[in-house]
Structures are given as C-alpha cells and as structure tokens.
C-alpha cells in the first residue's frame, strides 16, 4: 500500500485542481501567465518537493495506477519503477500533467481509498 497518507494525496489533488482552474481562467481571459495560476503552481510544486522521497515515489505510483499504466495489484512494481526512473524532480514531472488530479483520484479509488473521504481530512 502507499507509503504516503491519503490526506497528502488529497492535498495534491486540491492543489492540482486549483492550478487547472487558474490556468483555465487565464486562458479564457487571454492571459497566459495569470498570477493566481503561478501562485497555485508554486504551491503544488512546493508541496510535492517537501514530501519525502518515499512519499514522492508513492505519489507517482498512485498517479500511474490512476492513468492505467499499472493496476492496483501492481502497486509495488509501480513504486519500484518510480524509484528507479526518478531522474527529474518529482514536482517537475507531476506538475506537468494536465490530468494529475483525475489520475490521483482514480488511483486512490483503484486502491480502495475514497478520494472524497481523504479530501475531507484536508478541508
């Protein structure tokens, strides 16, 4: 099972959604780099960067499960692959995924963890 608490994943989900919303608002308004989008992106990147290495590998593994690169039963393999293939900062890798929040929610669900319950622990 994940080496990261579900509430930490929920925090990443909320921050990723905030980045997506700020980016969408900026795109509608014709502003490429909206200040709120940059702030939200910095918060997301900072939160991920402050996780332990084990938590970061786990976050990547849950993301990969959510995008169907691995199944929930293959969590250990996904974690080990994340550990072995970590060449760039995790915050760079994950913050570049437009569907990060969706992947994490799907990954949690596949692992039998309710994203809604985890998000309630954050709010």
pLDDT of residue 117: 73
Residue 98 covered by a domain: yes
**How many domains is the chain partitioned into structurally?**
1
Residue 122 covered by a domain: no
Residue 67 covered by a domain: yes
Residue 17 covered by a domain: yes
* Helical H segments across the chain, by residue range: 6-29, 35-49, 53-66, 75-84, 90-95, 100-110, 115-122
pLDDT single digits (tens) 14-66: 999 999 876 655 544 455 544 445 888 999 999 999 999 999 999 999 999 99
pLDDT of residue 92: 95
Residue 123 covered by a domain: no
Residue 81 covered by a domain: yes
In angstroms, the CA 96 to CA 109 distance is 22
pLDDT single digits (tens) 83-120: 999 999 999 999 989 899 999 999 999 999 988 776 66
């Amino acid at each position: 099972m994940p080496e990261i608490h579900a509430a930490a994943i929920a925090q990443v989900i909320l921050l990723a959604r905030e980045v997506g919303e700020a980016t969408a608002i900026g795109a509608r308004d014709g502003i490429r780099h909206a200040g709120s989008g940059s702030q939200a992106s910095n918060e997301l990147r900072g939160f991920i960067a402050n996780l332990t290495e084990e938590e970061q590998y786990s976050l990547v593994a849950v993301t990969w499960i959510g995008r169907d690169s691995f199944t929930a039963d293959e969590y250990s393999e996904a974690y080990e692959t994340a550990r072995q293939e970590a060449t760039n900062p995790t915050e760079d890798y994950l913050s570049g995924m437009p569907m990060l929040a969706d992947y994490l929610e799907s990954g949690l669900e596949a692992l039998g963890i309710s994203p809604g319950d985890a998000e309630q622990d954050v709010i």
